[in-house]
Amino acid sequence: MTQTARPISSLSLLAAIARRPETLLFLPLLPLAAFWAWGETALIAAAFGLPGAIALLFAIGPARPRTPERDGTTGLLLRDSVAAALDEGLAVRAASGLSPACIVLAIDEADMLARRHGHADFAQLLRETAARIAATVRQADQVARLDGACFAIALAPVQRADLESVLQIASRLQSAVEDNVILEAAEVQISASVGFCTADRAPGGDAERSAGMALLTAAEAAMEDATHNGPGAIRAYTRELADKRADLSCLRADLAPALDNGDMRAFFQPQISTETGAITGFEVLVRWQHPVRGLLTPDAFLPLLQMAGLAERLGERMLYQAMGAMRRWEEAGHRIDSIGVNFSAEELRNPRLPDRIAWELDRFGLAPDRLSIEVLESVVAGDADDVVVKTISRLAEMGCRIDLDDFGTGHASIASIRRFAVSRIKIDRSFVSGMADDREQQRIVAAILSMAERLGLETIAEGVETGAEHALLAQLGCGHVQGYALAHPMPETETLAWIERHKARAQAPLLLERRAGE
Ligand code: C2E
Ligand code: CA
Ligand code: CA
């Protein structure tokens, strides 16, 4: 890698001169010269002072290069080495016209892979990935392992380090890493998310971090953005991404207080029986009444909240509000069969969850079958880890209902539907929306419904937006519907009035029929 032109201080210059062998040759002459010029006192001062001065100059001279630290698993360099390499590249940029760039690559779903394959195999996976990266880059490039399953590559300065050419290198790296990996006990197919930043787009250093570290952090930010758009996405660092991150970091700071002060609250969307038209349940959906940004839907903050480790606290709040609403509806004379609460994979990984739920149900005097646990199909598909299987099984044993959310998008096998004791499938909105005008979609929905019937599962369709969709679903035998055609999610304060209006509407045809028969 090209050497840096660092500014040299006059002391460092003196130290460098003092270290030269020819300087040491002339050393005995200096006290003599001092005596000749200034007399005996100067001779004594030079004889005693010079060795000390030279020792000092050696001490302040440039430090011996330290052996850089390496990662114990892969043998790769660490973050600081990549930042230092980028610093060097950036320092000579103006003079040489050559630019460095940084690429950060992360293995997708690394936590899940580690849990599934165990520590030894996962370490082997990391070593194989490290070897593939090292074999793909040039010798002058520096590769380091960051936290977890992330790798950083400092691309040595070149003439053309623009968006297009760095993107090419990024996708070459990604393809190299994504080839199947053969481990001790299994062959795994992995995908990787890649982010990169070129020198001309880098945010620049500041008082806290060098320009190289800023370039590395920017590539990491791009990688994080890629993981949200992944699996297997590649993203470049841009000004908009920087703005988005600044915006998100403001929002992040508001999350915990919002959970505590009640700004993050449950909204309720009704579910209706297609057979009787009665309200059979409500789904609880979180909303954030932000003091400045207004009412926020989960897509604006849920990933952030989960990353901040607040998923469990949100779950507690939603469960509490759900149970409270069920009691209050009952006290007002409206018995609702069940309430659906969404649980993320993260929450279901908590073995204490069933006890907490049992305690809440007990506190509100509600039987367990009044609660529907909504679990995404993607969570139960494939081999969900042991803890998730146990948690869901315990909840089912307790008598809670298990709703398989977004059904049709997650490829759950019939075996896993059985294993997780699913009571109902929620047909994903993508199958429902526009089905009234699409024969093919109707056939798919009909196939899902007949499969559910054969397996003895109840069904609900979500995202029902029109009366035509509602009617068609009822005709095809779908048990329940939920969607804007019936009602948007609403705050609890509006639910009682809605329930009463709905009951009045449902009774109106009966009254008319009765009157006609009088
Ligand atoms: P989901 O569980 O699939 O919830 C249904 C989503 O569809 C909700 O979006 C709902 O507002 C929306 N929706 C309902 N009817 C219609 C319709 O007719 N048309 C259209 N286009 N959309 C409809 P929302 O509230 O934005 O929630 C998005 C996702 O966030 C939820 O998807 C769920 O996965 C997650 N979520 C919401 N609340 C919670 C929560 O308390 N905890 C957890 N872990 N996840 C939550
Ligand atoms: Ca749901
Ligand atoms: Ca859903």
How do residues 330-356 score in pLDDT, each as one tens digit?
A: 999 999 999 999 999 889 999 999 999
Which pLDDT value is given to residue 8? 37
Q: Give the number of whichever ligand sits closest to the CA of residue 428.
A: 3
Q: What does the pLDDT read at residue 13?
A: 47
Q: At what angle do helices 163-178 and 110-136 cross, to 10 degrees?
A: 120
The response to whether residue 26 sits with its C-beta less than 6 Å from ligand 1 reads: no
pLDDT digits (tens, 9 = 90+) for 218-244: 999 999 999 988 789 999 999 889 888
pLDDT confidence of residue 6 = 38
- Judge if the beta carbon of residue 286 lies within 6 A of ligand 1: yes
Best substitution site from 285, 306, 405, 481 to test ligand 1's pocket, by max atoms within 8 Å of Cβ? 285
Residue 382 clears pLDDT 70, i.e. is over it:
no
Contacts of 502 (CB under 8 A, 6+ apart): 270, 272, 279
Q: Is the pLDDT of residue 22 over 60?
A: no
Nearest ligand atom owner, CA of 300: 1
- Joined together, the tokens standing for residue 353 give 């969850």
**Is residue 445 within 8 Å of residue 413, measured between CB atoms?**
no
CA 52 to chain centroid: 58
How confident is the model at residue 45, as a pLDDT?
73
| H/E element, 179 | none
- Mean pLDDT over 172-195 rounds to 90
Give distance in angstroms: CA of 409 to centre of ligand 3.
Answer: 10
Assessment of whether the complete model's pTM goes beyond 0.95 = no
pLDDT at 457 over 90: yes
**Residue 367: Cβ-neighbour burial (10 angstroms; 0-12, 13-18, 19+):** exposed
How large is the average pLDDT for residues 462-469? 96
Band (pLDDT 50/70/90 cuts) for residue 39 is confident
CA torsion 427-429-433-435 (nearest 10°) is -20
359 alpha carbon – ligand 3 mean position (Å): 26
Percent of the chain topping pLDDT 90: 65
CA angle at residue 142 from 136 to 144, to 5 degrees?
A: 95
Query: Nearest bound ligand to CA 312?
Result: 1
pLDDT recorded at residue 111: 83
Q: Is the CB of 458 under 6 A from ligand 1?
A: no
pLDDT given for residue 12 in this prediction: 45
Contact assessment for residue 370 and residue 395, using Cβ atoms and an 8 Å cutoff: no
Domains of the chain: 2-60 (no CATH), 79-251 (3.30.70.270), 264-502 (3.20.20.450)
Ligand 3 centre distance from Cα of residue 465 (Å)? 14
Pairwise CA distance, residues 464 & 431, whole Å = 10
What is the average per-residue pLDDT within 436-440? 92
**What atom of ligand 1 comes closest to residue 374's alpha carbon?**
2
* Mean pLDDT, residues 94-109: 94
Q: Does residue 346's CB lie within 6 angstroms of at least one atom of ligand 1?
A: no
- Of 375 and 512, more confident: 375
Q: Say yes or no to pLDDT of 29 above 60.
A: yes
Distance CA 72, CA 83 (A): 19
Q: Which atom of ligand 1 is nearest to the CA of 285?
A: 38
Is the minimum distance from the CB of 361 to ligand 1 under 6 angstroms? Answer: no
* Residue 367: per-residue pLDDT: 98
Which whole number is the average pLDDT over 348-377?
96
Ligand 1 contact via 465 beta carbon (within 6 Å): yes
pLDDT band (50, 70, 90) for residue 314: very high
What is residue 20's predicted lDDT score, i.e. its pLDDT?
A: 52
Q: Is cis: bond before 203, omega within 30 of 0?
A: no
Tell which atom from ligand 1 comes closest to the C-alpha of 297.
26
Average confidence (pLDDT) over 153-171: 94
Average pLDDT across the chain, whole number: 88
Residue-wise pLDDT tens digits, 62-100: 555 568 899 999 999 999 999 999 999 999 998 999 999
Please state the atom number of ligand 1 nearest to the C-alpha of residue 433. 19
The pLDDT of residue 302 is 94
